[in-house]
């Protein structure tokens, strides 16, 4: 007797847009063929179709409801997958906005590597906002990027994600000059070191680097450096980066 291999719920591949469109088209064709009640309410939008089936199915024949069932499940799964990813993206972005480290934000989701949270955020945005993703494109809801402008906080998160490697590399170079820091700059550099160890690149960690640079650049040791010193070059790079950051986060 052969062994039946079951696909666990968590292992099922996401519903693709092609599968979703095929399910909706099958329901529409089926209802029109039998002149089902309320056929004029049928919609190509998955959320509207799902609502239609839930509201009107009591008026359909048992045979029609049974034939609709597999397609209705596809629509239901697609909606559930989209909403789950939207909720996860919201939670990850909120954690970053609150200044938590990547490790703190990612641990509940099993994202323990330094790049785990930024990579997951980018993947979720790609799925939900449609950029070349086949599975889980976002429905025509307010969260869609095409329906509203990004807020300053959202633009900042995108910018930090795009510039993460550069920011952390610069922070690492900054720590190499800790011997030039006075007491105030040393305190900020200690926080920068913790963030670098955690791979943190959040609005809060970015500002901490800025505080460290500003205090270090005002220290007597820095002011006594020869022109062209590596730390002076680093400070110029940071101020250019900070200006880019300001341009992105400025309210429009």
Confidence band for 60, pLDDT divided at 50, 70 and 90: very high
Q: Please state, in angstroms and rounded to a whole number, the distance separating the CA atoms of residues 168 and 178.
A: 16
Domain ranges in the chain? Answer: 17-148, 159-249
pLDDT, average across residues 85-91: 86
Residue with tokens 């880019």: 244
pLDDT, average across residues 48-76: 93
Q: Please state, in angstroms and rounded to a whole number, the distance separating the CA atoms of residues 49 and 19.
A: 15
**Sign of the Cα pseudo-torsion (195, 196, 199, 202, in order):** positive
Confidence band for 68, pLDDT divided at 50, 70 and 90: very high
Region class of 16: left (phi > 0), else alpha (psi between -120 and 50), else beta: beta
Confidence band for 252, pLDDT divided at 50, 70 and 90: low
pTM of the model: 0.50
């Amino acid at each position: 007797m052969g062994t039946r291999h079951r696909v666990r719920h968590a292992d099922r591949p996401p519903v693709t847009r092609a599968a979703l469109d095929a399910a909706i088209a099958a329901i529409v064709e089926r209802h029109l063929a039998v002149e089902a009640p309320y056929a004029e309410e049928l919609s190509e939008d998955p959320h509207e179709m799902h609502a239609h089936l839930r509201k009107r199915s009591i008026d359909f024949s048992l045979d029609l409801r049974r034939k609709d069932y597999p397609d209705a499940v596809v629509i239901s799964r697609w909606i559930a997958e989209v909403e789950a990813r939207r909720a996860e993206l919201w939670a990850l972005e909120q954690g970053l906005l609150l200044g938590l480290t990547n490790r703190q934000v990612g641990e509940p989701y099993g994202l323990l590597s330094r790049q785990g949270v930024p990579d997951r955020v980018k993947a979720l945005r790609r799925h939900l906002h449609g950029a070349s993703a086949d599975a889980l494109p976002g429905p025509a809801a307010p969260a869609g990027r095409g329906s509203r402008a990004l807020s300053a906080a959202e633009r900042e998160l995108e910018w930090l994600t795009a510039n993460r490697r550069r920011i952390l590399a610069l922070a690492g170079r900054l720590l190499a000059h800790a011997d030039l820091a006075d007491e105030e700059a040393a305190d900020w550099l200690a926080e920068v070191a913790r963030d670098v160890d955690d791979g943190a690149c959040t609005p809060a960690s970015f500002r901490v680097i800025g505080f460290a640079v500003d205090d270090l650049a005002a220290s007597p040791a820095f002011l006594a450096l020869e022109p062209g010193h590596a730390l002076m070059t680093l400070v110029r790079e940071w101020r250019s980066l900070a200006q880019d950051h300001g341009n992105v986060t400025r309210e429009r």
